[in-house]
Structure 1
Amino acid sequence: MAFPSAPSVLWSVSLLTVLFAAAVHSNIVFDDDPLQPVTSDETVSVGGTVILTCRVAESDNSSLQWSNTAQQTLYFGEKRALRDNRIQLHRSTPTELSITISDVQLSDEGEYTCSIFTMPVRTARATVTVLGVPGKPQISGFENAVQEGGKVTLTCTSTGSKPPAKLRWYRGDQELVGRPDVVESVPDDPTYNVSSELTLVVSRSDDNNLITCAVDHPSLAPGDKRSEQALRVLYSPVVEIQPESDLPREGEKFHLQCIGNGNPEPTSYIWEKKDGELPPLSKADGAYLRFEMLNKSDNGVYLCHADNGIGNGQGEYTLLVQDPTAMSPSSGVDHAVIGGVVAVIVFILLCLLIVLGRYLIRHKGTYLTHEAKGSDDAPDADTAIINAEGGHSGAEDKKEYFI
């Protein structure tokens, strides 16, 4: 790379380089010197941007300078000396010189020097560490489904990391322990390739589970780079027999369905009746056992055998044919409610009749008592009868009528 063509710049850079070499050779160290430059080490990932800052406590109007790992001058004050557009001035004051390097590459790693051209020249160094960003991990070694109880070995590989990345295995949120990582250096390149193996004994609960390989590296946030592999496990079916209804009635059509939960799905079904043969009016139709007309003689335990090529499973169902006149549980509940309402109404009516009877009896006694008042004072029986029938005034009227 060439320097700017201006003669004055070339002369200044040459002079500064000579002075800098003399200062380095003298190896003079100043403690508590306000003109001593101060820098800091920096870490950056490949492709990122790093800021190099050089400061002094005081200024005597001397210029600050940044040089690269090859001792080429990058910036002298506000003047750029190296034709590299990735390097730009960030800040320049009498006490600070900051520059940026963008699109950082692995070759940019090393020790950078800040100098102030006083007498003698003072220097400070900053080490730039460049991280090689690992590639997205790749999982291999699992192409075909594995039968339940078998073993599967997965290999995860990530390339281009610096320092070497660490690989972690997960099943869901549970971290798994694989074999120690294998680290290989890349020829003519400061990066590394890393691989890891994981061996699992699988069960039916692992079917469709995701196995994750994640890269752990200083250049990445957790979970930034990961790959997933879904497990495929073959297992024999678990069988269940599902009835068409919970209340099979005599004389009705009815069927049983054989449901086999396996991987793959069952392809063969065999129906049988425990301790006997299938009824003559029943028909086995694959996963279904159909009854054209139920009869109480169909009662019994029915078995279904399902096979998917990996293994077979068996389910059973006890059939109890109901009388067609039997009430369903819901209708029984309705009748119970109605019976309760009727009982309450009858009770209320009885109470009303009792109250009404007591009322009538009480008033009838009062009427008889008033009628008997006229006969209590009669001197003889005839007079008492006359008084009871109409009272004393009525007798007088009758007497006058006869006179």
Structure 2
Amino acid sequence: MYACEVQESWQPRVSPPANQLERLATGTDLYLVCQVSETEVGKDNVELLWYKDGTAMTRQKIRKNGFIQASLAFVKPTKAETGNYTCKATIGAENKEETVPVEFFERAGFVESESSIHPQEGENAKITCETIGDRLDEIFWLKNGYQLSEADERGYQFEDDYRTLIIPDFFGEKDDGNYSCNVVQFAQIYSKDISVTAYARPVITVFQVPENNAGFEGSSATFKCSAHGKPSPTYKWFKNDEDNSMVELNASDKYKIDDGLLGINYLVDSDAGQYICEAENEVGNSKQNTTLIIHRRPKIERMEDVTTVLGNSVELICSINSDSNISDAYFMFNKQKYAPHSKDTSISYETVTDDSEMETTTVDDSEEESEEAETATVGTSVSGEEEEENNDDEEEDVETRKRRAIIDDTITVEWRDEKLVLTIPNAQMSHMGRYSCHAENMAGTTYDAAKILITHAPVFTNVSEKYIRRQEGESAFLFCEVSAIPAADMSFEHGSSQVYPDGVNVQLESTNDKLALSFNSLQDSDFGTYQCSAKNTQGSAEPAVFEIIKIVPPKDPEAISCADNVYPNFAVCRLDGYDETKRGEWPTRFQVFYTNEEPTEEFDWENSATVTEASFVDGKSVKLTGLNTEQKYFARILAVNEAGEGELSGVIPFETTAAWTPEPVIDAVINCPDVCSVNWTIPNDRGAEITGYKLVFRETSAVQSEIEDSTTIATPEIIETTTDENDDDSAAENITAEDFTDGEEEDDESGDVREQITINVGADDHHVDLPQLLPLRNYELTIYAINEVGLSDPTTYYFRTTEKSGLATLFPLPNWAVITLFVIVGLVLAIMLDAFCCKTRHCGVLACLTSHCRNRRNRAPKDIEQGNASGEHRVLITTTEKQIIRNDH
């Protein structure tokens, strides 16, 4: 009875119920459960089975929490799984079922698209949201979290059922932001974020080109292109080729390209043409072009060397072609500038000084000499070849420099059509050398060079040292350089035989003007005398003689004498026994061991004596320095050279003298580029410490050299006169300061009334500046070194100041600056004086002066002086006083 009662009341139930299965989105997992209660059916055998549209699906059955259930799982279901699902429950012969309709609609979503868009600035922006899904309830848009509508003052528009948002006249500053497209389905919101940022097509705002669209040959040109755009544009540069095709320019040594900047290095003719700047970004591009013109420097046809005979007339022709006017053209020779005649038939030339300045001097046809040379600084661009020439000139001796300071007025330069012609009517050896022709226009300067060669017999210009000391097996090198036109035949002779290379040990290298002989490893037969000979059709040179000396261990001197040539702080020892023809056995130096005490036979010379070294050069004597005055010395010497050393000599006694006056100052250097200065080194004090120096300057009217008359030399010519040290030493010893004073007085009495400047400096001073010297004057400098014994022999130098020397250097500012400075100082003083007058007299300077002058003219007594005048007539009166006066009246 119990079983029958249970079976009548049971019923399968489906969860979730049917009313919750009407709006299901694809992709959403679903779990259907069919169950019967065990309390209703007992524990009998119950079967649960799911069917879809009558087709069995599963037989799964479990017991859980008092229920017998069968489940059906939908994992990411699709629309194909839509249908009627029936749960059948069977207990014995009884069947019951529950059917639920399950319908899946396509889930809302978005078609794959870019997450950011970039509308163009100023145009309507369309933001499209392509959706998918069934039964979409609503589509709406948000910007930065706020919902957009057509009623918004911004004027938003919507199309395609709100799937497209239109933003009119998109302006990035206010419209850029994060927009989201939102779709509502079954009370669920699905969103897609879109970043919207405005882009702008590039607009070129800056386009800078070379001035006048022109560049100069050999220089550089710079173009600058800058554009506004979003995103920031990139730049490209193009040049129109000869066939009008655009060729992109890439960064290289020729072109410098950097973010819109184009630099073109070392302009040439082919760089002329049209250049285009292109600024480009993701929106589009913008272009701008310009044309570059190249101004060329003058062209000089290749000049040829000219060979002539001594005394002949010679011409150098420089053919110049120029697209523009030639502003300057000239020849340079030996640092002198030779320019063509000007309209006033004068020749203008410039002298290049060692300070890289040019002195401009004019010599007209009347051969009138200017009293003072006019100096002007001229900036000149020097090419690499000219720099090399200048570097070579630095090695010239003083005589050559003096010669180069002289203008050769026999050289003339003139124009013949477009040719610059240099003429030398009477060619001399001094005219031989390199001449460079220079031409300048607005684009710059160019030059070419040629040599004037004068036929002459060979003359040696540079040779190796005469004596070359070597040991057997060492290397040796000889050379001789020659000047010869035509080129000389050169050779080395050893003994009576000509030297030839053997390819191994002996090598000869020859050029037109130099012959070099080298030995890799000297053999015994290679030592001896060598001669370098040179000859051409004009004659031959006196052979240059060399000697390769074979070094052997040094010979000891046969006799030594030091007592005959002793001085306060050094001694000269005469050495006998060295033959001029046997230099290989000469020592190069001597080690000197000396002591002040008379040594015994057991005296340890090597460890107890003072050791010094003395060089041996002339083969006759050595000089022992570092001695003290009035000291007795005992010395021994040891000969040393590259091959070894000799034996210690016998003991040599000698005694130094008392202190003398210092040696003369023989190496003073005078420089006058601006403020003249004198520099010198410390002379030998001869046993008494130097206490100071005396410099005496006198302006002199001595006869000037032609060099001084013709031009001003920035580095003054110095003529040095020094008393010979080999004169009577006792006389030098007896010169004192008092004697010198007496001598000066005698000079004055003899009529020498020249103004002099005397400068005394201390012992530590070896430099004196001379701003007090006047410009363009000849001066005589006499310099003395002083110690406690007296004054040294005088040394006299003659020099000439430049136009920049002297008092002018105390005011290094230009004239306008000096005048301005004085005006400012005057104004400041006037203001201070005016303030003082206002403070003390209650009036300005002019008012006080005027009042004072009027009072001086009107001295007659007035009422105001008698006390009868009214107080109202006073000019300066206080308010209180005026009130009192009114009350009195």
- Please tell me the TM-score bracket, short chain as reference: 0.3 to 0.5
Query: What is the TM-score normalised by the length of structure 1?
Result: 0.37
More strand by share: 2
Greater length-normalized contact order (CA 8 Å, ≥ 6 residues apart): 1
Query: What is the TM-score normalised by the length of structure 2?
Result: 0.18
More helix by share: 1
